[in-house]
Amino acid sequence: MTQDRLRRRWRKTTSILPQAALIYALLTALAIVMLGPYLYIFASSFKETYTLISIPPRLIPEQFVWDNYTYILGELPFSTWFINTILVAALVTLGTVLIDALAAYAFAKKQFWGRDLLFGLMLATIMIPGALLLIPAFLITNQLGLLNSYGGLIIPSLANVLGVFLLRQFMQTLPVELEHAARIDGCSDFGVFWRIIMPLSTPALATLSIVVFTAQWNNLVWPLVVLNNKNLYTLPLGLALLRSEFQVNYGITSAAAFLSVIPLIVVFIFLQRYFLEGLTVGAMKG
Amino acid sequence: MTSATVPSKQSNIERVRFWQRSAVRRNLTAYLFILPFVALFAIFNIGPFFWALWLSLLRGDLVSPVKPFVGFQNYASLTTDNITLQVFRNSLQYTVSVVPITVITALALAFLIGNRLVRFKDFFRAVVFFPLLASAAATAQIWSYILAPRYGILTYLLGLVGIPEIYWLSNPSVALYGILLVEWWRGIGFHIILFLAAMLGVPEELHEAARIDGASAWQVATRVTIPLMRPVILFSVVMGTIWAFQLFDTVFVLTNGGPVHSTATIVWYIYNHAFRYGQVGMAAAMGVVLLLIIMPISFVQMRVLGDSG
């Protein structure tokens, strides 16, 4: 009996083995295609100019040099761009989350005249392509005297419809009894929002923060339009500039591209869950 | 709701007045809560939308204070201008290529990762997420080196299997597909992760039942799994189409529309006409056309979202 069962299991294993081997071979190929480009530019960022254009190409630098990094950090305002990007992305994230949460709370929990109409209108604007709004948004920012400033980068990006949508969905699921209890204890409207709703909404707030932060970190078009002072550049804009100024120095562009991605990779490794949850929300931003 | 249950000592009139006052107050606080959002939204979204429609009827550059009204002339010019026609062709050709390629390969890869024999599914999910982390500008930098002629590593690898050198970004008849290759790498993770989630949500009993009935793996996939994933596949096609029509960043950094306008897209046209060539009216008209292309596709998107949530 047992022998028979063992034989059956053995037959099953051996019949699965080639299939599993094929699947894992394909998965390895997939991993190489997805991660290979990152590893390749990481290696290339330590190559000296001669190795960069050697034929056949070398995967590993002949000798490790720090020249590319010393150049972008010393000769180019790369560290300024880096700090600008952190600053702008952090402030936009903070502002968006707060402004969106305030609005989402009212849309989720309060009755007021014009609520559903306004919400429908907001959702309808999702389908407007960003490129159409680009020109008038630029003109308005210009009118407000915000061109070439952090304000011009930050303020126009703060009202995020999808953030309101996401937070409203979440806040609607919070039990209303908690609010009542807080109100009986003498909490004001803002007190209920700040002390009850916000702490309970942490998962949704975290997801939105990740989505907004990533989008800002990688945003190219708006900084491109608003800025022409190189000292205010953010990383994507700086990288785009490098491309036009250093066409052939791939060591410099590799080092810069790698440094610009590293912070998000680190955040991703620790907060993967929120990245995955935010995927569909972030997607719809167009 | 709580305000309706006031103490019974109060008279009816007082009760009504109290209720009214509280309703007004409640309205007022609600408006205060949405005020910051609505103000910014009106200034930077609603306002610009109507202004853009108006601009599409004017002629002038970005900073000229007076822009003469030209009616629908800009729209008429869009249909006759050679570059415009090329731009429409490029965007259309790109979209109808990138969407099916991405969705079909993503579906295949989702089946690969979702296979019963695969452990560490979370690891492979993270692997395909990685390209989504880099900005389009950084991705463009990475790939400009990989795609470089002569010393580019892709040229070398293709050479190993006997494929002659391809000028991915400098040959006008190939460049659009060079961009497609980069965007495929950048975007496929989104579709794979979406499909994987939908696939793992299909109850295992359904697969089991099909298998007991003698269905092959291919039949289980095409007759059971894929039909059940239809809403997600539709969402993925819709999003992919919307993005494809709005392609800009990668083109701007890698080829800037060239060579000879072979990678010039709709949004590239809008950016350049507004901010480079001083033809705001043409740019806005192109923006409106883009809106008209996107709108029906977005309706589908909203319907899908409405069904799922």
pLDDT value of residue B21: 65
Checking if the pLDDT of B8 tops 80, the result is: no
Are residues B228 and B82 part of one domain?
Answer: yes
Are residues B263 and B136 part of one domain?
Answer: yes
Mean pLDDT value of segment B12-37: 75
Say whether A27 and B52 touch across the interface (CB within 8 A): no
Are residues A107 and A239 part of one domain?
Answer: yes
Are residues B148 and B20 part of one domain?
Answer: no
Q: Tell me if B65 is assigned to some domain.
A: no
Give the chain B residue nearest A25 (alpha carbons): B112
Rounded CA separation A143/A141 (Å): 5
- CB proximity B103 to A under 8 Å: no
Residue B144, domain CATH? 1.10.3720.10
Nearest to B246 among A193, A254, A286 (CB): A286
pLDDT value of residue B14: 60
pLDDT value of residue B81: 87
| Number of domain units in chain A | 2
Q: Tell me if B60 is assigned to some domain.
A: no
Say whether A189 and B254 touch across the interface (CB within 8 A): no
Q: Where is average pLDDT lowest: B21-25, B27-31, B173-177, B256-260?
A: B21-25
Residue from A30, A34, A55, A123 whose CB has the most chain B CBs within 10 Å, to mutate: A34
pLDDT value of residue B19: 57
- Print the domain residue range for B48: 2-55
Spell out which residues of chain B touch residue A103, defining contact as CB-CB under 8 Å: 33-34, 36-38
Are residues A182 and A92 part of one domain?
Answer: yes
- CB proximity A99 to B under 8 Å: yes
Rounded CA separation A154/A96 (Å): 10
Give the chain A residue nearest B285 (alpha carbons): A132
Spell out which residues of chain B touch residue A189, defining contact as CB-CB under 8 Å: 29, 33
| Number of domain units in chain B | 2
Are residues B282 and B246 part of one domain?
Answer: yes
Contact B127, B109 (CB under 8 A): no
Contact B247, B183 (CB under 8 A): yes
Contact B263, B179 (CB under 8 A): yes
The angle formed by the CA atoms of residues B293, B296 and B299, to the nearest 5 degrees, is 140
Residues in chain A: 286
Q: Which residues pair with A121 in a beta bridge?
A: none
Rounded CA separation B81/B102 (Å): 32
Are residues B176 and B150 part of one domain?
Answer: yes
Are residues A113 and A200 part of one domain?
Answer: yes
Percent over 90 (pLDDT), chain B: 57
pLDDT value of residue B307: 57
**Smallest Cα–Cα separation from B140: which of A245, A47, A254?**
A254
Residue A236, domain CATH? 1.10.3720.10
pLDDT value of residue B66: 77
CA distance A67 to chain B (A): 18
pLDDT value of residue A18: 85
Rounded CA separation B145/A44 (Å): 10
Q: Where is average pLDDT lowest: A67-76, B82-91, B125-134?
A: A67-76
pLDDT value of residue A286: 41
Mean pLDDT value of segment B184-194: 95
- CB proximity B24 to A under 8 Å: no
Provide the residue-wise pLDDT of chain A in tens; the chain has 286 residues. Answer: 567 777 777 776 677 788 889 999 999 999 999 999 999 999 988 987 777 777 788 888 878 889 889 988 988 899 999 999 999 999 999 999 999 999 999 999 988 888 999 999 998 888 899 999 999 999 999 999 999 999 999 999 999 999 999 999 999 999 888 888 888 888 888 999 999 999 999 999 999 999 999 999 999 999 999 998 889 999 999 999 887 766 668 888 899 999 999 999 999 999 999 998 888 776 665 4
Mean pLDDT value of segment B186-204: 92
Residues B144-184 have pLDDT tens digits of 999 988 888 998 899 899 888 889 998 999 999 999 999 99
* Residue B277: count of CB within 10 angstroms of its CB: 12
Are residues B156 and B80 part of one domain?
Answer: yes
Amino acid at B93: Q
Spell out which residues of chain A touch residue B46, defining contact as CB-CB under 8 Å: 121, 125
CA distance A54 to chain B (A): 6
Q: Which two tokens stand for residue B286?
A: 């192109």
Are residues B149 and B100 part of one domain?
Answer: yes
Q: Single out the residue in A41, A67, A93 at which a domain terminates.
A: A67
Are residues A101 and A56 part of one domain?
Answer: no
Are residues B34 and B112 part of one domain?
Answer: no
Give how far Cα A116 sits from Cα of A59, A111, A120, A146, Å: 58, 10, 6, 33
Q: Which two tokens stand for residue A156?
A: 């126009």
Q: Tell me if A72 is assigned to some domain.
A: no
* Sole residue written with tokens 């880099």: B134
pLDDT value of residue B68: 86
Give how far Cα A147 sits from Cα of A155, A156, A232, Å: 11, 11, 11
Are residues A109 and A44 part of one domain?
Answer: no
* Residue B42: count of CB within 10 angstroms of its CB: 12
Give the chain A residue nearest B241 (alpha carbons): A286
Give the chain A residue nearest B270 (alpha carbons): A131
Checking if the pLDDT of B1 tops 50, the result is: no
Are residues B78 and B35 part of one domain?
Answer: no
**Smallest Cα–Cα separation from B108: which of A154, A126, A23?**
A23
CA distance B74 to chain A (A): 15
Kindly indicate the confidence band of residue B3, based on its pLDDT and cuts at 50, 70 and 90. very low
More confident residue, B298 or A196: A196
Are residues A203 and A102 part of one domain?
Answer: yes
Are residues A22 and A117 part of one domain?
Answer: no
Are residues A141 and A58 part of one domain?
Answer: no
Are residues A140 and A12 part of one domain?
Answer: no
* Residue A132: count of CB within 10 angstroms of its CB: 26
CA distance B41 to chain A (A): 5
Let me know how many helices (H) and strands (E) chain A has, helices first: 15, 0
Are residues B241 and B140 part of one domain?
Answer: yes
- CB proximity B193 to A under 8 Å: yes
Are residues A93 and A215 part of one domain?
Answer: yes
Are residues A232 and A120 part of one domain?
Answer: yes
Q: Tell me if B66 is assigned to some domain.
A: no
- CB proximity A15 to B under 8 Å: no
Say whether B62 and A139 touch across the interface (CB within 8 A): yes
pLDDT value of residue A250: 87
Are residues B179 and B234 part of one domain?
Answer: yes
User: Peptide bond preceding B100: is omega within 30 degrees of 0, i.e. cis?
Assistant: no
Mean pLDDT value of segment B27-54: 93
Checking if the pLDDT of B78 tops 70, the result is: yes
Are residues A184 and A122 part of one domain?
Answer: yes
Element (H, E) at B292: helix B280-308
- CB proximity A159 to B under 8 Å: yes
By CB neighbour count within 10 A (0-12 exposed, 13-18 middle, 19+ buried), where does B143 fall?
buried
Element (H, E) at B242: helix B230-245
Say whether A52 and B151 touch across the interface (CB within 8 A): yes
Spell out which residues of chain A touch residue B133, defining contact as CB-CB under 8 Å: 214, 261, 264-265, 268
- CB proximity A70 to B under 8 Å: no
Residues B273-288 have pLDDT tens digits of 999 998 999 999 999 9
Q: pTM of the full predicted structure?
A: 0.90
Q: Tell me if B61 is assigned to some domain.
A: no
- CB proximity B291 to A under 8 Å: yes
Checking if the pLDDT of B18 tops 70, the result is: no
- CB proximity B200 to A under 8 Å: no
Q: Tell me if A181 is assigned to some domain.
A: yes
Spell out which residues of chain B touch residue A76, defining contact as CB-CB under 8 Å: none
Give the chain A residue nearest B131 (alpha carbons): A34
- Print the domain residue range for A86: 77-283
- CB proximity A117 to B under 8 Å: no
More confident residue, B89 or A281: B89
Are residues B279 and B170 part of one domain?
Answer: yes
